[in-house]
């Protein structure tokens, strides 16, 4: 048997062993056909006869058995088998490869360092299957790109990021020197870390300051010094990070009541809003000449203003009136710079 064929058989059988349930997980076992589907989902081109032959061969070497009390027979690890199959499944290796970059920014460094071996193992697993297994070739075929102008991430002090992450993990306050975007001078803060949010290329700490209850965002790259304290954090009553994000926190909102906007949209923009609405309650009606009148409930955020201004002449704000005046002033100031 050629070396490549032997390796392919070994990898397939290894994946098959990892797909078998333990006796405690599933005493009935898993049918050969179900195992065949598992292997096919992992990218192996196998038929039922091959799986049945593999199971028979492996049962002479490993403590696996067929449950003859069920029809069809269910294959499983024996009741007393010590299951400790090393290595990753193909699906696990693909998943790790796809999320590696995002995890580097969101996991505490200590945990990330501990996963270094897993990421290396995932890379080697996929490399070994390259060209032989279509699932292993999946990561290079899918990419995530930003919808807005891409920007390089700001420089972040790794030691500071590590200290913030560990304080968040341990539920401890931090004493920090931080430079707000609106100030040229740094300030001293006592912060209660509540979460980390990755927005585009920028990582933000969500925290309350001193004894206040309102959570705010702090760009991690603007921290100049961080000291983890022994004092536990005080979590605001009812705080929920998902709910705060839904209210517009990561879009720099005022966290007030949502507002209803009305827009007159160019046909091109109306087409895109028809596919990707501004909100679940968005309504679109004909405004004549191919334009559409759009009504939607949205959060009052800076991100909303940036989006409106980025559309140029393709959108006109009709309501609320105060937003009409605000956008008109910004557009007028923009036009003045080109005169």
Range of the domain at 52: 3-77
70/96 same-domain check: no
Mapped to the 3 state alphabet, what secondary structure does 11-34 carry?
HHHHHHHHHCCCCCCCCCCEEHHH
Band the pLDDT of 118: cuts 50, 70, 90: confident
Q: Is the pLDDT of residue 275 over 90?
A: yes
Residue 196: count of CB within 10 angstroms of its CB: 20
Specify if 254 maps to a domain: no
pLDDT category of residue 43 using cuts at 50, 70 and 90? confident
Model confidence at 248: pLDDT above 80: no
pLDDT digits (tens, 9 = 90+) for 2-29: 656 777 788 888 888 888 888 877 888 9
Query: Angle, to 10 degrees, between the axis of helix 90-106 and the axis of helix 116-129?
Result: 140
Which CATH number is 301's domain given?
3.30.70
Give me the pLDDT at residue 200, please: 80
User: Are 162 and 130 in a shared domain?
Assistant: no
Residue 164 lies in a domain: yes
Q: Are 215 and 249 in contact (CB under 8 A)?
A: yes
pLDDT of residue 199: 84
pLDDT at 83: 63
pLDDT tens-digit readout, 58-94: 888 888 899 888 788 899 988 877 665 566 778 888 8
Contact between residue 227 and residue 163 where contact means Cβ atoms under 8 Å apart = yes
Domain count, the chain: 4
d(Cα 129, Cα 134) in Å, to the nearest integer? 8
Claim to verify: residue 94 and residue 137 sit in the same structural domain: yes
d(CA 117, CA 49): 36
Residue 252, in any domain of the structure = no
**What does pLDDT average to over the chain?**
87
Judge if 70 and 97 occupy the same domain: no
For residue 85, the SS3 value is coil
Question: What backbone torsions phi and psi does residue 260 show, to the nearest 5 degrees?
Answer: -100, 125
Contact call for residues 239 and 208 (beta carbons, < 8 A): no
Report pLDDT for 188.
97
- Which pLDDT score is estimated for 124? 81
Taking CA atoms, 271 is separated from 33, 172, 284, 299, in Å, by 46, 48, 10, 22
Q: Is residue 148 part of a domain?
A: no
Residue 127 has pLDDT above 60, yes or no: yes
What's this model's pTM, rounded to 2 decimal places? 0.64
| CA atoms 226, 227, 228, 232: torsion sign | negative
pLDDT 10s digits, 290-320: 899 999 999 888 888 889 999 999 999 999 9
Nearest to 229 by CA among 188, 198, 196, 197: 188
| The pLDDT of residue 98 | 85
Tally Cβ neighbours within 10 Å of residue 279: 15
Q: Which pLDDT does position 3 carry in this prediction? A: 59
- Residue 152 covered by a domain: no
Token look-up 């796809």 returns: 98
Mark whether 265 and 234 lie in a shared domain: no
Say if 149 falls within a structural domain: no
Please check whether residue 128 lies inside any domain of the structure.
yes
């Amino acid at each position: 048997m050629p070396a490549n064929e032997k390796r392919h058989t070994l990898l397939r059988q290894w994946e098959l062993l990892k797909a078998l349930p333990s006796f405690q997980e599933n005493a009935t076992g898993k049918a050969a056909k179900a195992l065949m589907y598992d292997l096919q989902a992992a990218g192996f081109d196998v038929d039922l006869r091959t799986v049945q032959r593999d199971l028979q061969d492996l049962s002479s070497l490993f403590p696996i058995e067929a449950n003859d009390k069920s029809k069809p027979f269910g294959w499983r690890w024996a009741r007393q088998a010590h299951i400790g199959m090393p290595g990753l499944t193909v699906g696990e290796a693909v998943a790790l490869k796809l999320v590696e970059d995002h995890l580097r920014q969101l996991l505490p460094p200590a945990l990330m360092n501990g996963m270094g071996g897993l990421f290396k193992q995932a890379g080697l697993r996929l490399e070994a299957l390259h060209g032989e297994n279509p699932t292993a070739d999946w990561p290079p075929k899918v990419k995530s790109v930003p919808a807005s102008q891409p920007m390089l991430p700001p420089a972040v002090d790794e030691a500071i990021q590590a200290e913030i992450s560990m304080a968040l993990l341990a539920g401890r306050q931090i004493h920090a020197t931080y430079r707000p975007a609106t100030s040229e001078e740094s300030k001293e803060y006592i912060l209660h870390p509540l979460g980390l949010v990755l927005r585009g290329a920028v990582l933000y700490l969500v925290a309350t300051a001193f004894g206040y209850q309102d959570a705010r965002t702090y760009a991690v790259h603007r921290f100049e010094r961080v000291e983890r304290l022994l004092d536990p954090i005080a979590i605001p009553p009812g705080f929920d990070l998902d709910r705060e994000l839904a209210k517009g926190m990561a879009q720099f909102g005022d966290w007030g009541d949502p507002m209803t906007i009305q827009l007159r949209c160019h046909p091109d923009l109306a087409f895109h809003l028809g596919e990707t609405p501004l909100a679940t309650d968005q309504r679109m009606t004909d405004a004549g000449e191919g334009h559409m009148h759009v009504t939607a409930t949205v959060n009052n955020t800076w991100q909303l203003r940036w989006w409106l201004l980025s559309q140029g002449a393709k959108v006109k704000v009709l309501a609320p009136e105060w937003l009409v005046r605000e956008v008109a002033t910004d557009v007028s100031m923009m036009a003045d710079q080109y005169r």
